[in-house]
Structure 1
Amino acid sequence: MTQRLQGRTALVTGSTSNIGRAIARAFAAEGAHVVVSGRDDNRGDAVVAEIERAGGRASFVRADLDGTAEASQALAAEATRRLGGRLDILVNNAGIYPPGTTSTTDPATFDRVYAVNVKAPFFLTQVVAPAMVAAGGGVIINLGSWIARRGVPTGALYASTKGALETLTRAWSAEFGGRGVRVDAISPGVVRDPALDPAGTFPGQTLMQGTPAGTAGHPDAIAAAAVYLASDDAAFVHGAVLDIDGGRTGVTTTGVTTTRPTTTGGTTTDGG
C-alpha cells in the first residue's frame, strides 16, 4: 500500500454504508486516522472494527445531520477532538434519496432532502474550512451525482440538491482555494452496494445500459477517486467534478456497433 494519506486525519459523513464506508476504509488503508459518522451506532462500530482489523485507525461519531448549523458544528467539534485537534480532510457524503416525482413531493420531504443534502454540508464546511485555513490547509471532497446533469423523469428533488453541491464545490474552491484548502467533487454513476445486493441483481443496472461500463459500479471505484483527490497527487486539482460513472454522463454506446475481446482471444461484435 502506498500510504498516500499517512499522518492525516479525515471525517467522512454518512460512512456507515456503501460509498461512505468504502471511502473510510480506503482512507484508513492509506494511513489516515478516520472518523466514521452516521446515525446508526451498530453499523458505525462495525465499520470501525473492520478498519481496525485491517490495521487502520478509526473512531465513530454518531451524528444526525438534520441541516441545522448546530448539528454540523457539533459533529465538526467532536470529530476534531477525536482526531487530536486537527482535521485535514472532509468528505461531504451523507445524503438521502426519497423516491417520488415533482407532483408527489410534499413540502416536508422537500425541506428534509435539502436539509440533509445541502444545508448540512454547507454548515459543516462553514466551520471546517476556516479551521483548515488556520491550520495551514486541507481538502474538502463533495459527493455529487450523475443525475444532476443527465435528466431523468424521476428524482428531480434529489438531482437538484446534487447540482447545488456541485455548484458549491466550485464556489468554495474560489473562496478557500487561495488560502490552502482544495475543494473538489466526485460525481458517481449508478453504484451497487454489495452488502445489500451480493447476488448482483440490483434493478438500477438497467440505467447503465448503453454505457461503456454496461453495469453498475462498485463503491471501491468511488473510494479510489476520493483517495486521489485527498492526496498530494491531486495538488493541482481545484474546483473539479470527477465523473466516476462508467461513462453514464458523457458517452453512449447505444446503437453503436462495438467489438469486444472474448476470453479465447477472438472477438465478438454487438450493437451496444
Structure 2
Amino acid sequence: MARTVASYRTNRVTGATSNIGRAIAEAFAAEGAHVAVSGRSPERGREVVEGIRARGGLADVLVNNAGIYPGDTTAATDEKTFDEVYAVNVKAPFFLTAAVAPAMVDAGGGTIINLGSWIARLGIPVGALYSSTKGAMETLTRAWAAEFGPHGVRVNAISPGVVQTAAPGEGHPAEVMMKGTPAGRMGTPEAVADAAVYLAGDESSFVHGIVLDVDGGRTAAAVIAG
C-alpha cells in the first residue's frame, strides 16, 4: 500500500546541510516526516536541524559525506581524485542502499531517491569525472528498481539542472549554462525538493525506475531565438 512521506519512520537525506539536500530535508519535515540529516558540516547540520524543528518536524544528525564535484578536465584529474569522487558519489550510496533496502523490504516497503545530474546526458568540456558518477547513479536507479521494486521498495532518481542561489540583485556565473532553455534561468533547491516529495509520496506509487528531469528543459529542448 502506498504511503505518504510522513508515514515513513525515517527519511535519510545525505548531503543535507546545504543547497538541494537541505531543501529536500526541510520539505520532508514540512510534510511531517522524521528526517535523518547528514552532511560534511556539523555547524550547517545543526542549523538545518533547528530549522526543521521550528517547522514542527523531527530530526537526527548523522555525519556522512555529500557528493563532490571537481570541475577539472580529464587530463588534469589524477588517480587520487578519481578514487575519492567515486568513493563519495557512487560507492557510498551503493553500500548505503545495500544496507537500507533489505531493511525496507523487511519493514514492508520504502522509497529510495537518487540524485543524478543533467551533465550525465549532455556533455560539457569540464567535469567528465563527476558526470560519469551521475551516469552510474542513473544506471543504478534502474537496476535497483528492478531488484527491489517487486519487494515493495520503489527506486527513482531526480536529475537537476543548474541549481544555484544567487545573491539578491546579483547574477551568478552559472546562469549562462541555462541560456537557450525553455526556463531561461537557473533552478532553485526548492524545485528539486518538490520533486523529491512527489517521488516519496502516494502520488507516485506507480512510478518505478525513472529519472525525473528537473532541469528547466536543459536536456529536452532548445529554444532558438528569433
Q: Are residues 1:35 and 2:7 paired?
A: no
Matches within 5 A, 1:68-147: 94-147=66-119
> What do residues 187-241 of structure 1 show as CA deviations (whole Å, max 9, x unaligned)?
00000135xx444422110000000110100000000000000001100000000
Q: Is the 8 A contact 2:118 2:160 kept in 1?
A: yes
Query: What is the aligned length?
Result: 223
Kindly provide the amino acid, as one letter, of the partner of residue 107 in structure 1: E
Q: Is structure 2 residue 218 aligned with structure 1 residue 251?
A: no
3-state secondary structure, aligned to 1:96: coil
Q: Which residue of the partner structure matches residue 151 of structure 2?
A: 179
SS in 2 for 1:6: helix
Q: Structure 1 pair 17/175, CA: closer, same or farther in 2 (3 Å)?
A: same
- Alignment partner, residue 23 of structure 2: 22
Could you tell me how far apart the structure 1 residues matched to 2:170 and 2:86 are? 31
For residues 149 and 60 of structure 1, the distance between their equivalents in structure 2, rounded to whole angstroms, comes to 34
- CA deviation after TM superposition for structure 1 residue 101, in Å: 0.3
Does the 8 A contact of 2:32 with 2:56 survive in 1?
no
The answer as to whether partners of 1:4 and 1:31 remain within 8 angstroms in 2 is no
Q: Give RMSD over aligned pairs.
A: 1.3
2:17 is the alignment partner of 1:45: no
Distance 1:122 1:4 in 2: 25
When normalised by structure 2's length, the TM-score is: 0.95
From the CA coordinates, give the structure whose radius of gyration is larger: 1
Alignment match, 2:5: 5
Aligned identity (percent) is 65
The amino acid of 1:152's aligned partner reads I
4+ runs deviating over 4 angstroms? none
Equivalent in the alignment of 1:226: 196
Q: Is the 8 A contact 2:29 2:35 kept in 1?
A: yes
Moved more, 54-63 or 154-163: 54-63
CA distance in 2, matches of 1:115, 1:6: 31
The Cα of 1:6 is off from its aligned counterpart by 2.5
